[in-house]
Amino acid sequence: MMATNDAFKVTSLKGKVTLITGASSGIGAAASVMFAKLGAKLALNGRNVENLKKIAEQCTDLGAVEPLLVPGDLSDEDTVKRIVEQTLSHFGRLDVLINSAGILAMGTIESTNLAQYDKVMNVNVRSVYYLTHLCVPHLIKTKGSIVNVSSVNGQRSFPGVLAYCMSKSALDQFTRCTALELASKQVRVNSVCPGVIITEVHRRAGLDEEQYAKFLERCKETHALGRPGDVEEVAHAIAFLASDAASFITGVNLPVDGGRHAMCPR
């Protein structure tokens, strides 16, 4: 009997009210579907409303409660406030926050201007800070959990994506500091740090099809497991950290990167 209960604990998010940002594509979309499978009640944020509706349909097709759609650009403070207010008004509580929204931008210290830098930091750091700030009082009430979607770029240094690397390093520190600040209130805060995952984010950042194909091919060398990852693999890690199966885990930046973080040129 104990084994059955433990197995259920690992996989269940039943009834957990979960706000997921960046839910219209990539890792956020995969997490939304994964959480729907595991019984969560979802509030889904994204900028692409049509994609968001498609993800919501996938969730209801799995038997989930119809997700609340809270679309909008998180770099706008009023939008962030509205998202939290609508989620609380609709569900009356908040158990889990998944900060998955983020953008990737190419550029070096020579080529990245302040406007580009500000855009990356506003989406990847400032909006996460503000949304979390607004959600924390409600997560304290439920002794909930937060999972941030960071990157191997926060833990390792790569040329040509400077602002992005800086933003993810900031997010990792944000994860650790807030975990310590909220631990006494039994709110857990962790992050996942993906390596190269097959999504649209690299194409949006400017890679054409040929460049992207070469980029993925190179993953055979840059990732110890010899391949890029897929979004479901990251979604599984997010679900684990958000669930009661990770009840004694907080302040962790968990690599989901095929071993890339452990590699060093020889």
Cα torsion angle, 238, 246, 45, 160, sign: negative
Residues 6+ apart with CB under 8 A from 157: 165
Backbone angles phi, psi at 191, to 5 degrees: -135, 155
For residues 128 and 99, the answer to whether their CB atoms sit within 8 Å is yes
- Gyration radius from the chain CA atoms: 18
DSSP, residue by residue, 73-137: -TTSHHHHHHHHHHHHHHHS---EEEE-------B-TTT--HHHHHHHHIIIIIHHHHHHHHHHH
Question: Taking every pair of C-alpha atoms in the chain, what is the biggest distance, in angstroms?
Answer: 61
Hey, which bits of 214-261 come out as E strands?
A: 253-256
The catalytic residues are: 164
